[in-house]
Amino acid sequence: MTLIGMLHHRADPNHVKKAYAYAAVAKAEGVDFFYFTPGKVNIEQEKILGKAYENGQWIEKEFPFPDAIYNASAPVSEKAEQIVDYLYDRIPFTSHSIGDKLSVYNRINRAKEFEQYLIPFYELTDEQVFFDMMTRYEKVILKPQTGHQGSGIVYIEKDGNQYRINEAGIISTRNEKQLLDLLSDKIEEQDYVVQQFITSKTKTGHVFDFRLHVQKNGEGKWVITSIYPRIGRLGTITSNMGSGGYSTYLDVFLQTEFDNYWYDIKRYLEYFSLSFSNHFDSLYDHVLDELGIDVGIDEDQKLWLFEVNWRPGPPNIYSVELDVAKNTILYAKYLAKERRALTREYNRLDK
Q: What is the 3 state secondary structure string of 219-269?
A: CCCEEEEEEEEEECCCCCCCCCHHHCCEECCHHHHHHHHHHHHHHHHHHHH
Segment 2-8 mean pLDDT: 98
**136 is in which domain, residue-wise?**
121-196
Q: Are residues 218 and 175 in the same domain?
A: no
**Residue 205: what pLDDT?**
92
pLDDT digit string, tens, across residues 116-159: 999 988 888 888 899 899 999 989 999 888 766 567 789 999 88
Please give the span between the terminal C-alpha atoms of the chain, in angstroms, as a whole number.
27
User: How many C-beta atoms lie closer than 10 Å to residue 240's C-beta?
Assistant: 20
Segment 221-225 mean pLDDT: 97
Q: Are residues 213 and 301 in the same domain?
A: yes
* CA 331 – CA 43 distance, rounded (Å): 25
- Three-point CA angle 51, 326, 280, nearest 5°: 115
Q: Are residues 182 and 235 in the same domain?
A: no
Q: Are residues 163 and 208 in the same domain?
A: no
Q: Are residues 16 and 83 in the same domain?
A: yes
Please report whether residue 148 resides in a domain.
yes
Q: Are residues 179 and 205 in the same domain?
A: no
- Nearest Cα neighbor of 114 from 226, 274, 235, 6 is 274
Segment 291-313 mean pLDDT: 92
**Residue 243: what pLDDT?**
67
**Residue 189: what pLDDT?**
82
Q: Are residues 179 and 229 in the same domain?
A: no
Checking if the pLDDT of 351 tops 70, the result is: no
- In this structure, are residues 328 and 289 in contact, taking their beta carbons and an 8 Å threshold? yes
Backbone angles phi, psi at 187, to 5 degrees: -65, -35
**Residue 342: what pLDDT?**
82
User: How many C-beta atoms lie closer than 10 Å to residue 274's C-beta?
Assistant: 15
Please report whether residue 75 resides in a domain.
yes
Q: Are residues 255 and 212 in the same domain?
A: yes
Dihedral over Cα of 47, 48, 51, 52: its sign: negative
Please report whether residue 296 resides in a domain.
yes
Please report whether residue 110 resides in a domain.
no
275 CB contacts (<8 Å, ≥6 apart)? Answer: none
CATH number of residue 297's parent domain: 3.30.470.20
Segment 149-170 mean pLDDT: 84
Where does the pLDDT of residue 348 fall: very low under 50, low under 70, confident under 90, or very high at 90 and above? low
Checking if the pLDDT of 317 tops 70, the result is: no
- Buried b / exposed e along 205-230 (16+ C-beta atoms within 10 A): ebbbbbbbbbbbbbeeebbebbbbbb
**Residue 150: what pLDDT?**
60
Please report whether residue 319 resides in a domain.
no
**Residue 159: what pLDDT?**
87
Please report whether residue 324 resides in a domain.
no
Please report whether residue 240 resides in a domain.
yes
Checking if the pLDDT of 349 tops 80, the result is: no
Segment 283-306 mean pLDDT: 95
Where does the pLDDT of residue 168 fall: very low under 50, low under 70, confident under 90, or very high at 90 and above? confident
Please report whether residue 167 resides in a domain.
yes
The structure's pTM equals: 0.90
Q: Are residues 46 and 126 in the same domain?
A: no
What's the structural domain count of the chain? Answer: 3
* Range in 47-51, 85-89, 152-156, 290-294 with the lowest mean pLDDT: 152-156
Regarding predicted confidence, which is higher, 143 or 243?
143
**Residue 187: what pLDDT?**
83
Residue where a domain terminates, one of 163, 196, 229? 196
Paired with 6 in beta bridges are 35, 70
Q: Are residues 138 and 90 in the same domain?
A: no
**Residue 242: what pLDDT?**
67
Segment 237-246 mean pLDDT: 75
Q: Are residues 187 and 230 in the same domain?
A: no
pLDDT over 70, % of the chain: 95
Dihedral over Cα of 136, 140, 144, 150: its sign: negative
77 CB contacts (<8 Å, ≥6 apart)? Answer: none
Residue where a domain terminates, one of 179, 196, 213? 196
Residue where a domain terminates, one of 145, 161, 196? 196
**Residue 171: what pLDDT?**
87
Highest mean pLDDT, choosing among 112-121, 163-172, 187-196, 316-325 = 112-121
Q: Are residues 28 and 128 in the same domain?
A: no
Chain-wide mean pLDDT for the chain? 91
CATH number of residue 58's parent domain: 3.40.50.20
